[in-house]
Structure 1
Amino acid sequence: MGAWVTVPGLLLLYFLTNTLGVTPLVAGLALLVPKVIDAVIHPVFGTLSDREARGRGHRRGMMRWGLLLGLAMVAMFTVPGGLHGTPAALWVAGFYIIGNLCFAAFQVPYLTTSSDLHVGYHERTRVFMVRMVLLTVGLLAAGVVAPILVADEQRDSYTRMALVFAVVMAATALVALRGVRRLNATCGFREPAAHSQSVLADLRLAWADRDFRLLVISYLFTGATTHLVLAAVPFYAEHVLGRSGLTAVLMGAFLGPAMVTSPLWLRLSRRIGKQRGLLLAQALFVLGTVTLVVGDRIPTALTVVVVVLLGTSFAGLQLLAFSMVPDAVAAAERRRESRAGAYTGVWTATEAVGTAVGPYVYSAVLAVGGFAAAVDGESVPQTAGAVDAVLVGFTVVPAVLMSIAWLVQRRCALDRAA
């Protein structure tokens, strides 16, 4: 999962604008439209996952479709040599849609696992902490290795990079399938309610849950913010800091802390609750992005330190927000309204929208600033306005989006009920 989240999120916008000669606005649309389609599919997969759970006593059948994800990644980054501009964007978008469908088939039932298990409030956080640490290994490996493999910005390099990660993704998906099977056998399987009639009925039920609705809206802005930052890192490194080689360093600084600080966020949540911990993580992210608005006027080492702060808050954002989803399912179950797959489908649809909206917002900022596209990594001079757009999109815009997420999250009372 970490490879699929990171590689397209980090490289696709840059690949489209700097290798395929796609203008920023068209490139943003090529990333946005597949995610909009993806968001529509996720709730459907949530309902289908619940039906499979009731019929088979597990959700692993749908997960197996995720084994095809690597093939979609290879095709997405293997654009025929004669395609540039809009035709190339259409090729990428088409295979991005196919890949997102494979990913949704794996992700929805996979993330529902913690809601299916007979475990309690803190144990659900612990399950997600282990997941978060290993997910971060994938995020970090992809975030550091992928830019190195495509440093020359040539098409063949992107294909080779995709092949490497396709093999890794297939192998780790098999491990995940085995792990879910063992967890279900060890902790028991909580079968979803049998009275689900349709996808729309499931959506209405999930959206009527006030605290879950607030959590979803807050995470929509949170996900958009973090994926905007992810997509902006290569642009910030090259055009603001003046060193494209810093992309891998900044990605390491952003994702590395999650492996160390996730257990600390778990311990903090035991003391103050997940709600307060999540609000703290959001506030730290705002502080970090505002600090970076000074651009290259501070030493590079200090920039890396601030990115480490962002990575630390990112760990809390992911762990605590995700671990509150099964809490919402458990609260619904106490009201005899439990449909874990439906809740997870809404949640992953929200995540899909956020991953698309973030890069699209950034591409729109670049377009307003007059950022010039390039082909096969050729050097294209950028205006001062374009460089300012790169900086503002990486700092001010994320700060505003995360502040909105914080304001919405403050109204959530899920922890109070727990």
Structure 2
Amino acid sequence: MSKWNPIISIDIGNDTLKGIVVNNRQDGKEVVAYSVVKSRGIELGDIKDVVALNDSMNVLLDNLEEQVGKVLKGDFVVSSSCGNYELKDVKREMILSEDDAILVNERHLEDLKSNLLADIVGDNNIVFHIYTKRYIIDERKIVFNPVDMYASKVGAVFSIILGDSIHRSIVDYATRETIGDAEYYISPVSEAEAVLTNMEKDRGVMHIDLGHFSTVVTVFLNGAPVMLVRVPVAIRQVILDIARVLRTSIYEAERLLKIHGIAVFNSIEPALIEYKALDGRTSLETDKIRLARIIHARLREVFMKVRRVYREAVITFEEFKDLGIPGGVVLSGGGANIPRVTDVAADILKCPVRVGGLAFIEDYFIEENENVLVDPIFAAAFGNIISYEKSEGKLQYTGYKKTGNSLSLSEKIASLFRKLF
């Protein structure tokens, strides 16, 4: 019988709560439960009713516990797309020796990061995610890993995702009664951790979270985020458009989008769709092409705004100026499930676009419904676990499939650099 050692991951979205339970076994990570429930208590991107949110959390946990057959106890990790957060670059230096250079070790790097966090974290902000962009040896030599090199001074440039501590306190208060202590992350960043490989983040890639309340665009280069932009047009506006044009309720408009929605209106078979009017009783009809036109118009607006971010990235970073962003665009979030959404994005952005499923799928398995592993709606929940295990040093996700005891490509490169220097 396998050991019961679960991680419970919850993603608090503006429209839905997503939860997964992953049991760490010797033969891999087994997804033993998953659930999606409607969010309550969240309005216009912020938590307005803690009691209502707690009710939604309890429904989600009841669903998960029913699947595993026991009360959930273990490590809880939580992400949220609510509240304010921003990307910030910070440089820190530390003197190792006033005399001769000494050998840099892992402890020095941890002390450098600890000093950064002590300076940054205050009464009004908190660090949710931290990335090391590069290290600087003795103010002149840029390296990606200074361990086992000699130096008198070591510096680093960090990319940090900084959030509002007041909002974090609200999320903490809203969830503590239900799940107790937990580690907290930002949903779009967790999504990127799940759907992007290390190679994509190193060479350059754009991640787009097609969320309910906002569209979040993050550009990665050299393994760290270099741009993070929140676009205030998202799937919520698509639903509102459907409701207004077809004169129906928000609930019915959302149902039409999820069941019948297509992102493009050309090359689809015309078909009648029946739905309920605002009164909830009168039956109305529309056709699939008309519905697709409504969806397409708003999605074009979303991706036109994203294109401005893409162009700014190409202008700003030398690595992108000749051929654009090498890794193209990766979509996740609930909106990524709209059929043919990649067609709209590719047409406007003029680059390769794919829907992002779990990039580290070889590390996970599930007995039923393997679609959960590649469903972009669960990306943040998986990304929470990846972020947590990286921060705890429990597992090194490489993004490259291993065979036996062989080293991954990134590990081989790191080993080579250590030998050279």
Q: Give the structure with the higher percent strand.
A: 2
Q: Give the structure with the higher percent helix.
A: 1
TM-score range, shorter chain: under 0.3
Larger Rg computed on CA atoms:
2
What is the TM-score normalised by the length of structure 2? 0.23
